[in-house]
Chains A and B, each alone.
Chain A
């Protein structure tokens, strides 16, 4: 089977060829088109490295990556990214911040000047979908952390990317805001069906949002376990407290602690 995202024994080593840190070790994974995959693992296991490799920001040391059937050699414009920090530009309003990808990605950048109004309407719709209606003209520092993160999600989605890469986007938020944003993200995903790779260390988050959860080992990162989440969509928050989810989280936790003890001596 050929996946939409296809990693074949990908390794990445920082620094020197021999003495550098091995961050990823022969990671192999496939993600189907429109699938929501979560990657969990202990901190420092190379999850963020995985993101950078898949999006083509860093070339791998070994192995090959293909997205949409094509070998990844450089950054891909079909990708939307959101990080743990919202990374909004402080001199731009919410609206202008979300327009940013449109100014860069083809074919939007050439159309933007002529069809500004329709693009702005699109941004407003998206903002309404995540509950940011009325905050279009606010500057990022006038928004709370949760609202900034919503805006950051909108920015990742505005150019209709077929692949959405989320690098612990909710990690710095409190639990209630985080749960609110899970719902917002689920709504966005159901409405647009992009392929999503979510990197997180929150197991409940992974179990609630994903179709499939991959467990990475401690550095050097490898995929050590995989679990499919059989829960109907749309999921309600209560699902996370039902026996199925609790058992799933429990199982994921065991995989992670097992992978940690194996490599504990390496620090």
Chain B
């Protein structure tokens, strides 16, 4: 049939491949260049190590302290992951409730915004009073800081359902929850996964801030101890590990997004990520 829509991507294949490899190595070029410039800058101006250590010193410190770093990173990773998972579950359910009922939306939204405006650092001392120093305040902080974007995105996805799409189902006698399960929820998935990428980095910020304030383990705690002992390269190594973990979790969230909602991404790169037809 002549009506089929063929994606015209195929024709430009050779330049596309070159572009693709370029896109793959470009992030590495940026990172390596960044560290190289940093190294040159530090050496050129002979900056003291306790002010700004050179990348070489940071990597050396990282290698020297690799076991404590690994141990503490694992702690941070676990608290972040647990807090984040709770945030996903809560954000999804609350977003579902708020997005599907304008009454719940009107009632809860202002309170939620008010709550979200509170700097989470300010809550940590209270959490310490309740739960003591340790893992629990870090998990709760990670959760508190990361659930909001998930909730808002899911709620938006559901609330902006096309009225005609709802009519199609309602005309069949579908109940409200059926409309939400069949249309609203799948429809909000691109919003949901987009928010995961934001939320995962937020969760990291939350757990590390909490560890810095009140913990006896974790990468935040390690950095605090390191800087109090003027082990500045070690503190920087901690930062580095944190950002590597952040990239890793972001990549996982992005990969899941790609798999689950390829149908919504079709415009981004000429339909290349579209599910196979």
The answer to whether the Cβ of B213 comes within 8 Å of any Cβ in the partner chain is no
The answer to whether the Cβ of B182 comes within 8 Å of any Cβ in the partner chain is yes
A57 and B167 contact, Cβ closer than 8 Å, known pairs A139-B274, A142-B4, A146-B3: yes
A87 and B164 contact, Cβ closer than 8 Å, known pairs A57-B170, A75-B171, A137-B277: yes
The answer to whether the Cβ of B272 comes within 8 Å of any Cβ in the partner chain is no
A81 and B167 contact, Cβ closer than 8 Å, known pairs A90-B264, A139-B263: yes
Interface size range on B against A:
20 to 34
Name the segment of A7-15, A21-29, A101-109, A259-267 touching the other chain: A101-109
Residue in B172, B187, B264 whose beta carbon sits within 8 Å of that of A77 in the complex: B172
A104 and B186 contact, Cβ closer than 8 Å, known pairs A55-B171, A91-B263: no
The answer to whether the Cβ of B160 comes within 8 Å of any Cβ in the partner chain is no
Binding site for A on B (CB under 8 A): 1, 3-5, 162, 164-165, 167-174, 178, 182-183, 186-187, 189, 261, 263-264, 266, 274-275, 277
* 11 more CB-based (< 8 A) A-B contacts, given A137-B277, A141-B263: A77-B172, A83-B168, A89-B187, A90-B263, A91-B186, A104-B174, A105-B172, A131-B1, A139-B277, A142-B4, A144-B4
- Bound together, the chains give a CA A92 to CA B162 distance in angstroms of 16
- Bound together, the chains give a CA A265 to CA B182 distance in angstroms of 45
The answer to whether the Cβ of A184 comes within 8 Å of any Cβ in the partner chain is no
Residue in B168, B171, B266 whose beta carbon sits within 8 Å of that of A76 in the complex: B171
A75: which B residues are within 8 A, CB to CB?
A: 170-174
The answer to whether the Cβ of A85 comes within 8 Å of any Cβ in the partner chain is yes
B178: which A residues are within 8 A, CB to CB?
A: 104
The answer to whether the Cβ of A79 comes within 8 Å of any Cβ in the partner chain is yes
B168: which A residues are within 8 A, CB to CB?
A: 81, 83, 87, 100, 155
Shortest distance between the CB of B219 and any CB in chain A (Å): 38
B172 and A87 contact, CB distance less than 8 A: no
Shortest distance between the CB of B193 and any CB in chain A (Å): 13
Residue in B182, B263, B266 whose beta carbon sits within 8 Å of that of A100 in the complex: B182
- Bound together, the chains give a CA A139 to CA B275 distance in angstroms of 9
- Bound together, the chains give a CA A48 to CA B128 distance in angstroms of 61
A79 and B172 contact, Cβ closer than 8 Å, known pairs A89-B183, A91-B263: yes
A144: which B residues are within 8 A, CB to CB?
A: 3-5
User: Which of B165, B174, B275 counts the most chain A CB atoms within 10 A?
Assistant: B174
- Bound together, the chains give a CA A74 to CA B275 distance in angstroms of 38
A50: which B residues are within 8 A, CB to CB?
A: none
- Bound together, the chains give a CA A142 to CA B9 distance in angstroms of 14
A239: which B residues are within 8 A, CB to CB?
A: none
A57: which B residues are within 8 A, CB to CB?
A: 167, 170-171
Shortest distance between the CB of A72 and any CB in chain B (Å): 12
A104 and B182 contact, Cβ closer than 8 Å, known pairs A87-B165, A159-B172: yes
Residue in A104, A131, A135, A146 whose beta carbon sits within 8 Å of that of B169 in the complex: A104
- Bound together, the chains give a CA A137 to CA B275 distance in angstroms of 11
- Bound together, the chains give a CA A137 to CA B187 distance in angstroms of 19
User: Which of B3, B4, B164, B182 counts the most chain A CB atoms within 10 A?
Assistant: B3
The answer to whether the Cβ of A138 comes within 8 Å of any Cβ in the partner chain is yes
What are 27 contact pairs spanning A and B, CB under 8 A? Answer: A75-B172, A75-B174, A77-B173, A79-B171, A81-B168, A83-B167, A83-B168, A85-B164, A87-B162, A87-B164, A87-B165, A87-B168, A91-B187, A91-B261, A104-B169, A104-B172, A104-B178, A131-B1, A135-B4, A137-B277, A139-B277, A141-B263, A142-B274, A142-B277, A143-B5, A147-B3, A147-B4
B187: which A residues are within 8 A, CB to CB?
A: 89, 91
Shortest distance between the CB of B217 and any CB in chain A (Å): 43
B1: which A residues are within 8 A, CB to CB?
A: 131, 147
- 58-102 of chain A: CB within 8 A of chain B: 74-77, 79, 81, 83, 85, 87, 89-91, 100-101
A101: which B residues are within 8 A, CB to CB?
A: 172
- Bound together, the chains give a CA A104 to CA B174 distance in angstroms of 6
- Bound together, the chains give a CA A40 to CA B182 distance in angstroms of 33
B5: which A residues are within 8 A, CB to CB?
A: 141-144
B183: which A residues are within 8 A, CB to CB?
A: 89
When C-beta atoms are compared, the residue in chain B nearest to A85 turns out to be B164
When C-beta atoms are compared, the residue in chain B nearest to A82 turns out to be B168
- Bound together, the chains give a CA A68 to CA B244 distance in angstroms of 66
A165: which B residues are within 8 A, CB to CB?
A: 171
A155: which B residues are within 8 A, CB to CB?
A: 168
Shortest distance between the CB of A82 and any CB in chain B (Å): 9
- 126-150 of chain A: CB within 8 A of chain B: 131, 135, 137-139, 141-144, 146-147
- Bound together, the chains give a CA A56 to CA B167 distance in angstroms of 10
B173 and A89 contact, CB distance less than 8 A: no
Contact with B along A18-45 (1 / 0, CB 8 A): 0000000000000000000000000000
